[in-house]
Amino acid sequence: MKRVHINILGEVVQGVFFRAKINEKANALDVTGFVRNKDDGSVEAVFEGDDSDVDELLDFCREGPRGAQIEDVEIVEEEYDGEFEDFEIRY
């Protein structure tokens, strides 16, 4: 099991349904955690789940939805602790 805390940085990462697409993919992969927009224009997320599922979600974050312009995905691996029961969009 794996847990990562990420920040998605770029010219356009908000306003392109990034949170909704991450939520959709996380639920399909049975990954738990959250995603939210930050005041600085980035998108923050925490993912917990099977290694391969978390990695697949990270691959999506590097590509993004149509219209996204991603410069970097900062990834910090953390200790898995099963904190989340599901995946949610935070506001």
Q: Which of 7, 37, 62, 90 is catalytic?
A: 37
22: confidence class by pLDDT, cuts 50, 70, 90: very high
CATH number at residue 6: 3.30.70.100
Q: Which domain holds residue 78?
A: 2-90
CA distances in angstroms from 39 to 6, 28, 36, listed in the order given: 15, 28, 10
Residue 37 designated active-site: yes
Residue 19 designated active-site: yes
Give the global pTM: 0.96
How many folded domains does the chain comprise? 1
In 3D, which of 78, 66, 61, 58 has the Cα closest to residue 17? 66
The four Cα atoms 42, 43, 46, 48 give a dihedral, to 10 degrees, of: -130
How much is the pLDDT for 86?
98
